[in-house]
């Protein structure tokens, strides 16, 4: 991955080091949705795991992030990835306004600041790529998850086997959890907070070479930031951000099969 600025390290930390989405049991042949793909770190890892018989649909609305996503796919020659420049939303074809940069891009909350993006609904997305369901879903749509799961538009996502959703705020956590439980899912893993020292340490032990290479490139800024975050965190901070992994109660994850080279 071309590391161009500090924002590029956030998705690497979240996906590769903290293991926020590692509970997803990606297997060869799976169809995967990466909603809020950012620069494509999870997209690239998922594409390798599902192999040529699988598919990863990467959805990202922000133009700068989408350019990095496209570059990630090209550099890694990922032929089993479909790119969609749009925001996952309850309706198709709406125009929304975004603000922020990198992993912090979000809907601007009614203001007309920032740039615009076109929306796509879960059913519209499935129709556009010609599949009936995604077996696995990773979702990080920066606060829009509460709106998406409040209504019937989210119904196609409940056909999935596993879904990992980053939730922003206690209200979003309750709305999303209630929706999944009502459709036969159980929450079997929760990664609290976005910057946790224990999660970082676990990631370093799991990927020591990658961790060292990234930290040397970044002059150990990630470790310093996570330490500051952990030391200064208030007891209520964990409630503001979490990644929850939901699994269909009838689905039993098999050991992931290695994708063909």
Q: What is the pLDDT of residues 98-136, one digit of tens each?
A: 887 666 676 776 656 668 999 999 999 999 999 999 999
Does residue 257 form part of some domain?
no
Q: How many CB atoms lie within 10 A of CB 250?
A: 8
Measured distance CA(76)–CA(12) in Å, rounded: 16
Does residue 254 form part of some domain?
no
Q: What is the mean pLDDT of residues 221-243?
A: 63
Answer yes or no: is pLDDT of 258 > 50.
no
Does residue 240 form part of some domain?
yes
Does residue 260 form part of some domain?
no
- Return the pLDDT at 103: 62
What CATH number should be reported for the domain holding residue 17? Answer: 3.40.50.150
- DSSP E strands, 169-238: 185-192
**Domains identified in the chain, total number:** 1
Does residue 116 form part of some domain?
yes
Measured distance CA(141)–CA(220) in Å, rounded: 28
Does residue 253 form part of some domain?
no
Query: Quick one: pLDDT band at residue 238, thresholds 50, 70, 90?
Result: very low
Domain that holds residue 160: 6-248
- Return the pLDDT at 198: 64
Answer yes or no: is pLDDT of 236 > 60.
no
Does residue 16 form part of some domain?
yes
């Amino acid at each position: 991955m071309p590391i161009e600025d500090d924002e590029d390290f956030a998705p690497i930390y979240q996906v590769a080091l903290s293991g926020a989405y590692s509970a997803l049991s990606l297997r060869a042949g799976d169809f995967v949705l990466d909603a809020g793909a950012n620069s494509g770190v999870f997209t690239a890892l998922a594409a390798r795991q599902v192999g040529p018989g699988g598919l990863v649909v990467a959805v990202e609305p922000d133009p700068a992030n989408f350019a990095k996503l496209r570059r990630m796919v090209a550099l890694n020659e990922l032929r089993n990835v479909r790119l969609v420049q749009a925001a996952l939303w309850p309706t198709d074809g709406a125009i929304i306004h975004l603000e922020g940069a990198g992993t912090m891009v979000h809907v601007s909350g009614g203001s007309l600041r920032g740039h615009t993006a076109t929306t796509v609904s879960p059913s519209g997305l499935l129709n556009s790529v010609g599949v009936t369901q995604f077996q696995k879903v990773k979702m990080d749509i920066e606060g829009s998850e509460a709106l998406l799961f409040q209504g019937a538009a989210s119904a196609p996502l409940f056909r999935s086997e596993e879904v990992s959703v980053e939730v922003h705020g206690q209200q979003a956590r309750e709305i999303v959890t209630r929706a999944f439980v009502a459709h036969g899912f159980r929450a079997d893993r929760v990664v609290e907070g976005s910057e946790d020292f224990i999660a970082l340490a676990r990631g370093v032990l799991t990927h020591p070479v990658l961790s060292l290479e990234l930290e040397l490139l970044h002059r150990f800024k990630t470790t310093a930031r996570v330490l500051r975050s952990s030391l200064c965190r208030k007891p209520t901070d964990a409630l503001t951000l979490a990644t929850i992994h939901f699994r269909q109660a009838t689905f039993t994850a098999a050991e992931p099969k290695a994708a063909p080279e």
